[in-house]
C-alpha cells in the first residue's frame, strides 16, 4: 500500500471522526490534529478504530502519544501497514 493510498483512507476516516467539515486539500502533513482540526481525545479514539477497521492494523496505546499531526498519523499507520505486509 502506498503513502498516497494511506493518506486517502486517513482523510476519509478523519472526515468521519471530527464534527466540522474538513477540506482534503488543506490536510498537509504539518496540520495539527488538535489545534487545527479540533480533534479531541474521543475523536482520536474513533480515528484509531477507523484505521483498525479499514486497514487491519491497530495503533498501540503506547504509540498514541506520538500522534500530533496529520503526518504523524500517516507515518505511524504506514509503519504498521508495512510491518503487517512483511509478516504476511
pLDDT of residue 73: 92
pLDDT of residue 37: 87
Q: How many domains does the chain have?
A: 1
Cβ–Cβ < 8 Å for 66, 76 = yes
Domain that holds residue 46: 3-87
User: Residue 27's domain is classified under what CATH number?
Assistant: 1.10.1200.10
pLDDT of residue 72: 94
Give pLDDT tens digits for 25-79: 888 999 999 999 888 888 888 888 999 999 999 889 898 888 999 999 999 999 9
CA–CA distances in Å: residue 85 to residues 28, 53, 64:
26, 16, 21
Amino acid at each position: 500500500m502506498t503513502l498516497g493510498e494511506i493518506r486517502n483512507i486517513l482523510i476519509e476516516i478523519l472526515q468521519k471522526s471530527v464534527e466540522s467539515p474538513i477540506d482534503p486539500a488543506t490536510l498537509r502533513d504539518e496540520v495539527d490534529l488538535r489545534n487545527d482540526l479540533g480533534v479531541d481525545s474521543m475523536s482520536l479514539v474513533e480515528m484509531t478504530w477507523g484505521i483498525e477497521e479499514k486497514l487491519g492494523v491497530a495503533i498501540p496505546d503506547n504509540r498514541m502519544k506520538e500522534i500530533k499531526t496529520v503526518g504523524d498519523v500517516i507515518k505511524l499507520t504506514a509503519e504498521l501497514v508495512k510491518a503487517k505486509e512483511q509478516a504476511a
